[in-house]
Structure 1
Amino acid sequence: MSTLEIDRVRKSYGIHEVLKEVSISIGAGDFLVLLGPSGCGKSTLLNMIAGLDTITGGEIRIAGKVVNNLSPKDRDIAMVFQSYALYPTMTVRQNIEFGMKIRGVTPADRDKAVKTAADLLQMSHLLDRKPAQLSGGQRQRVAMGRAIVRQPKLFLFDEPLSNLDAKLRVDMRTEIKRLHARLRTTIVYVTHDQIEAMTLATRVAVMKDGVVQQLDEPQAVYDRPANVYVAKFVGSPSMNIIPGVLEVQGSTVSAVVGIAHRQPARISGIPVSLDAARKFAGKKMLVGIRPENFSIATGHQGSALAVDIDVVEPTGPDTLVVFNCGGVEVTARLPPKQASAGSEAILSVDTSKVVIFDADTETRID
């Protein structure tokens, strides 16, 4: 296990700046997920940690040691690629032990390491097969086994599940989670899939255009997104962002939002400090509400909204309903058969989970 410190790291290709003073620090045994869309700089950052790409500015430290100018082989890292990168003419055993053989590890130690990795990944019965005889998930296990036997300070995963079908992705997420729990090694994992980030990470760095938008525990990123971008990127369906106006009455903070064809509604008891609320009182805000924070109300209680349902989308365990609020489409996640298209619904809001953003900067207000 090892710590990783990324200190004001920059990367430019000519005048094009890909990474803009990225700073991330994780402890030994942490599972860091770099999350973001294509082109946000997450794979570039991973390649710089691995030593596969040069750094324009800043420092990268592994176990407290600056590695900016070290070659990949001297960084004591192991990388699992999206493409598996297995030797097609070698057996699984030979693929796993190849790196150890190059480094001069004795046959006895190689056999022991291969057996340990194969048992850990439940692939002992595959050791004599070649990659062409394996499924995608089995090939990914081999790539992981090859990394495990190195016993590195740092594991790097570059979108390792993107080539797998939906069922295998779920299975392999479980395998990777189990692997981390057993080895307690430090992992940096790149993905654009927010489900992978939420299920695997101990820390998530959400990236956009070469900038870390938020670095926090997965649940904190989900519950308290730093800005509108994070709120919309993390979660499926994403957080509803509804235009509104902030009000303060005594010690109660409320947001007033428009409802299509109806009088504006007041959502009261929003968890924003009174100092911040008074600063923004009367101004246009953006109200963030997760779909699951709506529920069918038993009556017109405090923060209930009377809405007209436009669309109903049954998903099996629950139903997504779409209505207009504040001039935008809003999605609520409700139990099955509690609403129908074209009908009225009275929805209550769990105000303890409501997040308010500044309409100008789109950053969260606390």
Structure 2
Amino acid sequence: MATLDINRVRKSYGSMEVLKEVNISIEDGEFLVLLGPSGCGKSTLLNIIAGLEDITGGDVLIGNRVVNDLPPKDRDIAMVFQSYALYPTMTVRQNIEFGMKIRGISAEERAKATKAAAEMLQMTGLLDRKPSQLSGGQRQRVAMGRAIVRHPELFLFDEPLSNLDAKLRVDMRTEIKRLHQRLGATIVYVTHDQIEAMTLATKVAVMKDGIVQHFGTPQEVYDRPANTYVARFVGSPAMNILRGRLVASDGPVTVAFETSDGEALVSGVPLSPESAARFRDREVLVGIRPEHFTMDTAGAVPLTVDMVEPTGPDTLVVFSAGGADVVARLDPLAISVGTKARFGVKAEKIVLFDPETETRLD
């Protein structure tokens, strides 16, 4: 396996710049997820790593080796595609062995590697079937098995689960997680699904318009998003972003925001003395995750419930505050629309943003 360094990588098609000085580095054995909506540049970046796209500027290093001008076959990578890319006339066994056969590996070694991959992916009984006889999840296992037997320095996954139904996606996420744990592989994985990113990654690069908005661990990206775009993109339901103000005080940092039933004051918000002084008695954007509200009759947030959405394990309650519709995720409870209540907020979990730049305040 190998490290991966993406240094000031740019990609343009004529006058259209689709990647703008991307910088990402991961260590040997890490699982990097490139996360973002369609058109953000994540698949283009993956194709540049693979050698399927030419680079306009910058460098890509795999294991400390600059690979900008190397063809894909010389980069020691294995790629798993969204469409599986299996040979329809070959059996599963033949599909897995095909790349090894081309490279001149002996029949004995091919059989040994194929057996090990099939056992790892629980598809020993499928080796003599054709792709047309397999489910979508089974085909994806074959594509993964074909990648495993190459023993590459780097695995690349291009939205491998997007063609599967919801249950199969969950099952295959588990398989890919197990694969990473067993192999200790270095993996780059492209997806627009933030649940996949949070469950699989050791590092996440959230992208928008060819720019990495936030690069860090999944928990860092979730708890301390770099800006409001990341805050809204990662999390389901998304982080609530309210308009509020920093209350002038020499004590704990306090934010205020309006609700339909009066002003809410929340004290103990984490903020550096420098930022607190800079934004003293000024407008800020207040970020609160839905699960950081609590049902508290003595709580700091007066509100009227606008909508209730029971989901089984919890209840989503919608109300108005800070000029926005706000979602609170609570333990299952019986509450009806129109109810007036007071909610508590976990102040230590609140994230503040600059209303002009929409970047996080530290």
TM-score range, shorter chain: over 0.9
- For 1:274, the equivalent position in structure 2 comes to 273
Q: Any idea what the Cα deviations from partners look like across 1:200-238, whole Å, max 9, x if unmatched? A: 000000000000000000011000000000000000000
2: CA distance between counterparts of 1:170 and 1:21?
34
Range moving further from structure 2, 95-104 or 290-299: 290-299
Structure 1 counterpart of 2:62, one-letter code: I
TM-score by length of 1: 0.98
2: CA distance between counterparts of 1:242 and 1:225?
15
- For 1:141, the equivalent position in structure 2 comes to 141
2:300 is aligned with 1:308: no
2:106 is aligned with 1:106: yes
- For 2:289, the equivalent position in structure 1 comes to 290
2: CA distance between counterparts of 1:299 and 1:351?
15
- For 1:199, the equivalent position in structure 2 comes to 199
- For 1:351, the equivalent position in structure 2 comes to 347
Q: What is the CA-CA distance between 1:247 and the residue it aligns to?
A: 1.8
Structure-to-structure mapping, 1:227-306, within 5 angstroms: 227-260=227-260, 262-300=261-299, 304-306=300-302
Range moving further from structure 2, 326-335 or 151-160: 326-335
Tell whether the 8 Å contact from 1:253 to 1:274 is kept in structure 2 after alignment: no
Tell whether the 8 Å contact from 1:97 to 1:114 is kept in structure 2 after alignment: yes
Give the % identical residues. Answer: 68
Q: Any idea what the Cα deviations from partners look like across 1:6-59, whole Å, max 9, x if unmatched? A: 000000000000000000000000000000000000000000000000000000
Tell whether the 8 Å contact from 1:247 to 1:277 is kept in structure 2 after alignment: no
- For 2:69, the equivalent position in structure 1 comes to 69
Q: Which runs of 5+ in 2 are unaligned?
A: none
Q: Which runs of 5+ in 1 are unaligned?
A: none
Q: What is the CA-CA distance between 1:346 and the residue it aligns to?
A: 1.1
Structure 2 counterpart of 1:267, one-letter code: V
Tell whether the 8 Å contact from 1:251 to 1:274 is kept in structure 2 after alignment: no
Tell whether the 8 Å contact from 2:156 to 2:188 is kept in structure 1 after alignment: yes
Tell whether the 8 Å contact from 1:155 to 1:186 is kept in structure 2 after alignment: yes
Structure 2 counterpart of 1:263, one-letter code: G
2: CA distance between counterparts of 1:183 and 1:100?
19
2: CA distance between counterparts of 1:42 and 1:327?
33
Q: What is the CA-CA distance between 1:275 and the residue it aligns to?
A: 1.6
Tell whether the 8 Å contact from 1:227 to 1:362 is kept in structure 2 after alignment: yes
Tell whether the 8 Å contact from 2:18 to 2:41 is kept in structure 1 after alignment: yes
Structure 1 runs (4+) greater than 4 angstroms displaced: none
Tell whether the 8 Å contact from 2:263 to 2:302 is kept in structure 1 after alignment: no
Question: 3-state SS of the aligned residue for 1:331?
Answer: strand
Give RMSD over aligned pairs.
0.7
Structure 2 counterpart of 1:270, one-letter code: V
Q: What is the CA-CA distance between 1:282 and the residue it aligns to?
A: 1.6
Tell whether the 8 Å contact from 2:262 to 2:302 is kept in structure 1 after alignment: no
- For 2:11, the equivalent position in structure 1 comes to 11
Range moving further from structure 2, 332-341 or 143-152: 332-341
Tell whether the 8 Å contact from 1:322 to 1:330 is kept in structure 2 after alignment: yes
Name the count of aligned residue pairs.
362
Q: Any idea what the Cα deviations from partners look like across 1:74-116, whole Å, max 9, x if unmatched? A: 0000000000000000000000000000010000000000001
Structure 1 counterpart of 2:277, one-letter code: R
Q: Any idea what the Cα deviations from partners look like across 1:302-327, whole Å, max 9, x if unmatched? A: xx111000000010111101000012
Structure-to-structure mapping, 1:218-229, within 5 angstroms: 218-229=218-229
Structure 2 counterpart of 1:139, one-letter code: R
Q: What is the CA-CA distance between 1:345 and the residue it aligns to?
A: 1.7
Structure 2 counterpart of 1:362, one-letter code: E
- For 2:21, the equivalent position in structure 1 comes to 21
1: CA distance between counterparts of 2:211 and 2:188?
17
1: CA distance between counterparts of 2:63 and 2:251?
48
- For 1:337, the equivalent position in structure 2 comes to 333
Structure 1 counterpart of 2:161, one-letter code: L
- For 2:97, the equivalent position in structure 1 comes to 97
Range moving further from structure 2, 83-92 or 278-287: 278-287
TM-score by length of 2: 0.99
Tell whether the 8 Å contact from 1:339 to 1:345 is kept in structure 2 after alignment: no
Q: Any idea what the Cα deviations from partners look like across 1:241-264, whole Å, max 9, x if unmatched? A: 00001124113111110111x321
Range moving further from structure 2, 240-249 or 70-79: 240-249
Q: What is the CA-CA distance between 1:169 and the residue it aligns to?
A: 0.1
Q: What is the CA-CA distance between 1:338 and the residue it aligns to?
A: 4.2
Tell whether the 8 Å contact from 1:92 to 1:127 is kept in structure 2 after alignment: yes
Tell whether the 8 Å contact from 2:263 to 2:301 is kept in structure 1 after alignment: no
